[in-house]
Amino acid sequence: MTTTASGAQHDAALPPDLPVHAERGGSRKDADWDLVTIPEDFGPTHRVVTRDKRLAFAFAQGDYGSWYFQDSPFGGPVCHPMIFANDLLFLFYENYDGNTAEGLHTHEQLTFHSPARPGELVTFTGQYVEKFVKRGQGYVVLRAEARGEDGRLIVTHRGTEIMRTRVEEVAGRNRGSTPARAVEARIDESLPVATRAAVGIPERTGLPPVVRHFTQDQMNTYSWLAEGYRNVHTDHGRARDSGSERTVVQALQQTGLVVDAMVDFFGPTWFTTGALDLRYVNPAYCGERLTARAAVLGLADDGRLELEVWVEKDGGERTVLGWARAEIGQEASRPVQLLG
């Protein structure tokens, strides 16, 4: 038995940074919509949160916040809220050959329940809960969760993805479920920018934008090229075959920009009460400058503060549209960027 940083013990036979998809042997199905069964279970699979995983994520996301490596309001470092997003999304690799996947993420719902600690063993489980056809495209819905070694819930995921498609066939179209309300993606520029969540912030107040671009090396790291997966995010040939002249930034990598803005705004409560409901409406490509923006809407029915959030390219084309909400907590320091 080995002991993690938090003191819990687990089987030493489990490699310390085992890829989620590699824990079970046997053949895997092609990522073909017709082969999906409902319901279809995935996991449990496991991963120890090593320093290498945290550093790789920080490089891929471009976020070296001090809370993730030095100290945080939770006492000691915690993991970035998005560090397990791909572990959950890619759970289907357990049953399907990831190198045959040509999907396109269309809708994502993430809820954050507690921060993960460096060194702990995290368990992932999931299930395909729905499949449907819309405008000739085959969609699947994956529900998944990550739990800490003490059984607590860390993050839950519900994602909708087109199982197989070409980027050029769906870019700019309405994809998946249609929300009951629209995202205006509008900030009242006459109002001062809000840097911390608080009661009474006027509607349409903007937050400081998060601006970043992703290099191919960052995209390769984020989308698991080192683990042998070639797709529209990591392989130029696969991108061209899908109708794109450039590799496509993974939707969850863009989501990380929104989460970075929410951590700065809400502080610790984002890790315990934060929630996202996002739709991915246009692709973003390697090297494009992306800006995550947000506008305050007000208190939701559950008492949490709600915001519109979106990601846009230079020129104004939006790639991500949706909503974020979290509880308003006490004033807390922000994570300081250790690099850059």
Question: How confident is the model at residue 314, as a pLDDT?
Answer: 95
CA proximity to 232, closest of 39, 98, 43, 32: 98
pLDDT above 80: residue 248: yes
Question: How confident is the model at residue 239, as a pLDDT?
Answer: 85
Q: What is the pTM of this model?
A: 0.87
Question: How confident is the model at residue 225, as a pLDDT?
Answer: 87
Question: How confident is the model at residue 1, as a pLDDT?
Answer: 33
pLDDT above 50: residue 234: yes
- Asked which of 7-21, 54-68, 139-153, 183-197 is least confident by mean pLDDT, the reply is 7-21
The domains of the chain are located at 28-172+182-326
Name 29's Cβ contacts closer than 8 Å, sequence gap at least 6: 35, 95, 96, 97
Name 21's Cβ contacts closer than 8 Å, sequence gap at least 6: 45, 90, 93, 94, 98, 227
Question: How confident is the model at residue 332, as a pLDDT?
Answer: 67
Average pLDDT over residues 330-336: 78
Q: Bigger pLDDT: 27 or 170?
A: 27
- Asked which of 142-156, 188-202, 318-332 is least confident by mean pLDDT, the reply is 318-332
pLDDT above 90: residue 323: yes
In this prediction, residue 302 has a pLDDT band, given cuts at 50, 70 and 90, of very high
Question: For the chain, what is the mean pLDDT?
Answer: 87
Q: Bigger pLDDT: 146 or 13?
A: 146
User: Is the domain 28-172+182-326 a CATH 3.10.129.10 member?
Assistant: yes
Average pLDDT over residues 233-259: 92
CB 201 within 8 A of CB 297: no
- The SS3 of residue 295 is strand
Average pLDDT over residues 50-63: 96
CB 157 within 8 A of CB 141: no
pLDDT above 90: residue 229: no
Average pLDDT over residues 158-187: 71
- Asked which of 21-25, 198-202, 271-275, 335-339 is least confident by mean pLDDT, the reply is 21-25
The distance in angstroms from the start CA to the end CA of the chain is 39
In this prediction, residue 20 has a pLDDT band, given cuts at 50, 70 and 90, of very low
Q: What share of the chain is helix, strand, coil (3-state, %, to 5)?
A: 20, 30, 50
